[in-house]
Amino acid sequence: MALRMYEYPRCGTCRKAKKYLEAKGIAYEARHMVNEPPTREELTRLVEQSGLPLQKFFNTSGKKYRELNLKEKLKEMDDREKLELLASDGMLIKRPIVTDGTNVTVGFNEQTFDKVWG
């Protein structure tokens, strides 16, 4: 699988990640996560492959997260419900998510990108 980046084009963090990949000459396929959010099955696979807790996939600084009071509501939800919620609205997902089908990074951190994609 070629590198895929789930991104929101207006997101500054996504733009930094794209700039990084392009500067390193790393080809990737961009997927607009708001227009075409990952499915529950895709998210399940991404969470498993990342080794990160499901909570790390939520855009906790996002407006939608705060509007829905998810800080409190997530405490009452099981993982299936959380995955359904993420799959229902790409604005709830931390971005970008980059994967090659084996490795997964969530968000942009240059040191992490160097380690995983560099």
- Counted domains in the chain: 1
Q: Can you give the pLDDT at residue 19? A: 97
| Tokens coding 29 | 């396929």
Query: How far is the C-alpha of 113 from the C-alpha of 71, rounded, in Å?
Result: 28
Query: How far is the C-alpha of 37 from the C-alpha of 83, rounded, in Å?
Result: 12
Q: Can you give the pLDDT at residue 118? A: 86
Name the DSSP letter for residue 109: -
Query: How far is the C-alpha of 79 from the C-alpha of 36, rounded, in Å?
Result: 21
Q: Can you give the pLDDT at residue 1? A: 64
Q: Fill in the amino acid letter for 58.
A: F
Query: How far is the C-alpha of 35 from the C-alpha of 31, rounded, in Å?
Result: 9
Task: Residue 106: give its domain's CATH number.
Answer: 3.40.30.10
**What is the domain extent for residue 74?**
4-116
Judging by beta carbons within 10 Å of its beta carbon (0-12, 13-18, 19+), is residue 13 exposed, middle or buried? middle
Residue numbers in the chain where pLDDT is lower than 50: none
List residues bridging with 105 in a β-sheet: 98
pTM score, two decimals?
Answer: 0.94
